[in-house]
Amino acid sequence: MRWLLSAYVAFALAIPVAAQKPIIFDVSNVVVGAQKIQTLYLFAEGKWSDAGEHIGADSTQIQCYKSLGFCDVANAFETVGEANVDLTAFDILRWDSKEIIAVDSSPICIVNTLRVDLITKRITLSSSDKGVTKDPFCKGSDKLSTAVLWGLEDITKDAINRAKSKQQNH
């Protein structure tokens, strides 16, 4: 009976993770640049789980080039009612058959880590603080959450949950 309960818990925990896949997730061999460099390439598109309700479903694009050692993440976001875009370069630390790990350590207070699980096709973006305590700009940088790149199923579920929440609050 104990194994049945353990199996049920493992299955229940696996369901939400399985649904969190980007709209597009493609890993291919490509040739890039004037030098015609052959490389393994990742292209993914979706919406970060923490992006907010006014951000579109294909607001984030990720391109990684194994031979060149970097990933570019283009991200649309809203600030005070205006649309903006951010392009961030990540250095690839590891790319094996199971995952890609890339980091951006250029911000003053934090290190951003992009993790691509090549098996489950799940992409996360997490941040950790650098321990900078004297800079007032860094206040709260130790309380950052991890975002998941969502696909249409996750975005739809989120919109339904937001609508239900608004109905209950009225």
- Provide mean pLDDT across the span 63-70: 98
| Residue pair 60/73 in contact by the 8 Å Cβ criterion | yes
Segment holding 86, helix H or strand E = strand 82-95
- Where do the domains of the chain lie? 22-169
pTM: 0.82
Mean pLDDT (the chain) is 86
Q: What is the pLDDT of residues 77-105, one digit of tens each?
A: 988 888 899 999 999 999 999 999 999 99
| CA angle, residues 80, 47, 139, in degrees to nearest 5 | 55
- Coil, helix or strand at residue 50: coil
Is the pLDDT assigned to residue 8 strictly greater than 70? Answer: no
